[in-house]
Structure formats: C-alpha cells, structure tokens
C-alpha cells in the first residue's frame, strides 16, 4: 500500500499540491485526472521524490520513503513520462535493460527480458532493439518507455500520460496490455491522464484534481453517477454520462437464453458480442445495425445468449430502479455491479 499523507508543494507563491492525502491499495490502479496545471505530474514526482514535499509524508507499506535510500526507492518504482525520457545515446535494448543492469541481473536474463517486453509492446526486438531513440516514431518511443519501466517487474508504477502519443488503436491495445500486466504483476499503479475515458476504463480508483487539491476520490461508478463538484461533472462531460456509465457495465448480467432464436452472427449483425463486452459495446452495435436484440457469445462453455436494447438502456439509466449510488445492483437483472469493465472504455 502507498499512502500519500497531507502532501504539500509550492513554487513561489503558487501552491501546486495542496495537502493531498490519498491511499493506493496494493495491486490497484489509481487514475489522476484534472485540468492542465492542476498539479497531477507534481503529485507523481512527490511519490518517487523527484520533487521533495514542503510538508507531508509518503509511506510505502508503512515505511516513510525518506527512510529509504533514494536510488533504492527509484529503482523499485517504474516511472513512465510523457516524452518517454529515453537516454538518447543508448540503443532501445540498452534503454529497456537499464534498471535490470543496475540491479546486477546476468546479461542473458536481461536480454531475454528485453526481448519479451519489446514483443509485448509489439516492437520487433531484432529490428527495433538496436535502434536509437531518434530513429523511432513518437508512439514507438512511448512504448519503449513503458517497456523500460516494466523491465525489473516493479511492484509500483508511476505513469504520466503514458499513452498520449499513441494512435487510438494502439492506445486501446496498450491500455488492455497495461491492465493485463498490472493484474499479473499485482503492481500498484498511479496513472496521470487527461482522458476521462482512459481513467474510467483503467482505474480502480479515480482522483480528480483541481488547483492542487483533490476534488473527489472514488470508484469509476461513483465519479460518473455522483460527481461531487461542477468541475468533476465537466470532466465527465454532461452529455457523455450515459455512455460513460454504460462503458463501465459488463453485459454478462443482462444476457438471456436465446429463446427468440436471434441468429448468432452473420453479415448483418456481425459476430456475436464477446462475453466480456460492455453495455456500451452492445448499444453501439445496436445503433449501428438497427437490431434491438443481439447475440452474445457464451461465457466459458455456456451456450450463447441474447441481449435486448430495453435491458441495456435500463441498466445505463442513472438513478434508475436498478442502479445504486455505488454502482452496485439493487435488483436482479441489473448490469451495474460496480465491476470495472477494463479495456473496453471509450
Ligand atoms: N519546476 C517548476 N517550477 C515552477 N513551477 C512549476 C514547476 N513544475 C510545475 N510547476 C507549476 O506547477 C503547476 C502544476 O504543474 P503540473 O505539471 O504538476 O500540472 P499538471 O496537472 O500535470 O499539468 P499538465 O496536465 O498540463 O501536464 C503549474 O502551474 C506549473 O507551471
């Protein structure tokens, strides 16, 4: 667990981080969102002590980070910054292997890890490994930056707009990949993003910042259903709340047996929706095809079923009969069980 306890930092007479307290549970992703200049990056830098707080404490598993040697602290925390921060005179492979090398890993293990991570990031180790950062596109350099941060399997990751330079398709894949890696490593992640959709799809917890202060901390469902301030409402987008809510809701609880004999796929309806799809995915397909009922693939050995537009709309309605404040179901058939629907957020 990482605890930020009343952290404060000023530059001149501007208080950039204003008594911020936040707990990051082990193995979770906390997404920090907020307007430009609200202090998000500075908050991240206070955690790995790239910036020292004027007052307040950061504790990692109960230990005040000031009690740890700075190099040990930094090596134990993966750090990804927007402009990737790669060493320009080092090859990609050397950049990715930097922390394992500092930690004294044997060279063959470093080489294997570098190849594994580059492949994970869809970068050909043979072709891209020997290149220098200036020979990469912005998106490739950003993926190398993420690979480097993951290299020594850190238990903590600080990520500052890690996907900003990626095109939408690769960004979606990179998000899904991050979620999978994070689950596998059980890492604790603090992620800064401008993109509310990214925050909602990746975050177990969302922290909204404004002028150095935390306006609201909550689950994605709490932020969407009960924004605590007009600024939070604005970040969500008044007219996007319905879709944002639907993107958080897994479709599975709404699936009925296929008694209506809806065709399972075909050119008109497309492939059946994946068992792990969100309610937003279903509604989007319904709008596009004009179908009011769609086939859904079965979960692990279950037969395929169908989903009806009425159920999707009812599940997405804020304050509707099925939706509680925390996003947990109050009744049978609700699609809103508060579970994050990672990787399909928009
Ligand atoms: N080293 C510094 N010296 C002086 N002022 C700074 C310094 N670093 C940040 N600031 C100021 O602190 C405020 C918060 O900056 P920060 O980078 O933390 O915001 P942010 O929310 O991450 O912004 P963005 O979303 O635009 O990246 C800004 O007004 C910025 O100008």
In CATH, what number does 2-238 get? 3.40.50.300
Residue whose Cα lies nearest atom 2 of ligand 1: it is 11
* 162 Cβ below 6 A of ligand 1: no
Sheet holding 293-296, edge to edge: 256-257, 305-308, 293-296
Residue 346 pLDDT greater than 50, yes or no? no
The pLDDT value recorded for residue 324 is 36
Q: Mean pLDDT check: name the lowest of 106-120, 154-168, 190-204, 265-279.
A: 265-279
> Per-residue confidence at 132, pLDDT binned at 50, 70, 90?
very high
Residues in CB range of 55: below 8 A, 6 or more apart = 6, 7, 8
Average pLDDT over residues 166-171: 76
> Percentage of the chain with pLDDT > 90?
43
> Region 231-256: what's the mean pLDDT?
88
Q: Does residue 16 have its Cβ closer than 6 Å to ligand 1?
A: yes
Most confident listed range (142-151, 323-332, 334-343): 142-151
Atom of ligand 1 nearest to the CA of 44: 18
- The predicted model scores a pTM of 0.82
Burial of 120 per CB tally in 10 Å (0-12, 13-18, 19+): middle
pLDDT class of 113 with cuts at 50, 70, 90? very high
**Running DSSP on this structure, what letter comes out for residue 323?**
B
- Measured CA distances, 205 to 24, 81, 135, 191, 261 (Å): 8, 21, 37, 10, 40
pLDDT, tens digit, 9 for 90 and up, residues 8-62: 999 999 999 999 999 999 999 999 999 889 999 999 999 989 999 999 999 998 9
- Given a cut of 90, whether residue 121 has pLDDT beyond it is no
pLDDT of 288 over the 80 cut? yes
CA distances from 85 to 92, 95, 138, 141, 147 (A): 12, 10, 12, 9, 12
Confidence of residue 2 (pLDDT cuts 50, 70, 90): very high
Both tokens of 87, joined, read 């060493």
Query: Ligand 1, closest atom to CA 34?
Result: 21
* Predicted complex ipTM exceeds 0.90: yes
Closest atom of ligand 1 to CA, residue 194: 25
Distance CA 116, CA 85 (A): 21
Looking at residue 275, what is its pLDDT? Answer: 86
34 pocket-lining for ligand 1 (C-beta < 6 Å): yes
| pLDDT at res. 190 | 95
- Look at residue 331 in the predicted model and tell me its pLDDT: 30
Assess whether the C-beta atom of 193 lies below 6 angstroms from ligand 1: no
- Residue 9 CA to ligand 1 center (angstroms) comes to 11
Q: Which residue's CA is minimally distant from atom 26 of ligand 1?
A: 36
Cα–chain center distance at 3: 19
Q: Are 144 and 150 in contact (CB under 8 A)?
A: no
**Residue appearing with tokens 């996907």:** 163
Instruction: Look at residues 147, 154, 184 and name the one whose alpha carbon lies nearest to residue 47.
Output: 154
CB 20 within 8 A of CB 4: yes
Supply the pLDDT for residue 333: 32
pLDDT at position 34: 92
Averaged pLDDT, 291-312? 85
Residue 172: CB partners within 8 Å, gap ≥ 6? 343
| Secondary structure letter of residue 144 according to DSSP | H
Which of the pair, 67 or 184, is modelled with greater confidence? 67
Atom of ligand 1 nearest to the CA of 192: 22
CB 148 within 8 A of CB 95: yes
Asked whether 11 lines ligand 1 (CB < 6 A), one says yes
218 lines ligand 1 (CB under 6 A): no
Ligand 1 midpoint to CA 122 (Å): 32
CA 118 distance to own-chain centroid? 20
Interhelix angle for 309-316 vs 279-289, to 10°? Answer: 130
Atom of ligand 1 nearest to the CA of 43: 18
Residue 321 has pLDDT above 60, yes or no: no
Which pLDDT score, from 0 to 100, does residue 325 have?
32
Domain ranges of the chain: 2-238, 239-346
CA 39 – CA 266 distance, rounded (Å): 50
What is the distance between the alpha carbons of residues 107 and 26, in angstroms, rounded to a whole number? 31
Computed over its alpha carbons, how large is the radius of gyration of the chain? 22
Mutate to test the pocket of ligand 1, among 17, 37, 191 (most ligand atoms within 8 A of CB): 37
Q: What is the mean pLDDT of the chain?
A: 84
Residue 185: per-residue pLDDT: 77
- Kindly state if the Cβ of 71 falls inside 6 Å of ligand 1: no
């Amino acid at each position: 667990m990482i605890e930020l306890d009343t952290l404060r930092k000023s530059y001149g007479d501007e208080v950039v981080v204003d008594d911020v307290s936040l707990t990051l549970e082990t193995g979770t992703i906390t997404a920090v969102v907020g307007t430009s200049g609200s202090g998000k990056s500075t908050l991240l830098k206070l955690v790995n002590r790239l910036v020292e707080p004027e007052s307040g404490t950061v504790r990692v598993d109960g230990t005040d980070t000031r009690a740890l040697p700075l190099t040990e602290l930094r090596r134990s925390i993966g750090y990804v910054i927007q402009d990737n921060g790669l060493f320009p005179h080092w090859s990609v492979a050397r950049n990715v292997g930097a922390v394992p090398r500092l930690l004294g890993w044997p060279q063959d293990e470093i080489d294997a890890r570098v190849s594994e991570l580059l492949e994970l990031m869809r970068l050909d180790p043979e072709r891209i490994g020997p290149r220098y950062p200036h020979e990469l596109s912005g998106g490739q350099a950003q993926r190398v930056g993420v690979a480097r941060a993951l290299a020594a399997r850190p238990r903590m990751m600080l990520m500052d707009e890690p996907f900003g330079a990626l095109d939408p398709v690769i960004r979606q894949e990179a998000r899904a990949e991050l979620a999978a890696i994070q689950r596998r490593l059980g890492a604790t992640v603090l992620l800064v993003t401008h993109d509310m959709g990214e925050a909602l799809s990746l975050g177990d917890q969302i922290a909204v910042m404004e002028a150095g202060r935390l306006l609201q901390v909550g689950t994605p469902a709490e932020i969407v259903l009960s924004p605590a301030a007009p600024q939070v409402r604005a970040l969500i987008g008044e007219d996007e709340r319905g879709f944002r809510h639907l993107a958080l809701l897994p479709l599975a609880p709404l699936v009925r047996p296929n008694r209506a004999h809806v065709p399972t796929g075909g050119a008109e309806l497309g492939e059946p929706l994946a068992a792990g799809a969100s309610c937003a995915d279903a509604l989007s397909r319904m709008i596009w095809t004009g179908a009011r009922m769609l086939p859904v693939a079965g979960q692990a050995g279950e037969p395929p079923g169908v989903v009806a537009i009425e159920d999707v709309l009812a599940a997405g309605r804020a304050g509707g009969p099925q939706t509680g404040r925390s996003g947990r179901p109050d009744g049978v058939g609700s699609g809103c069980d508060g579970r994050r629907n990672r990787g399909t957020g928009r």
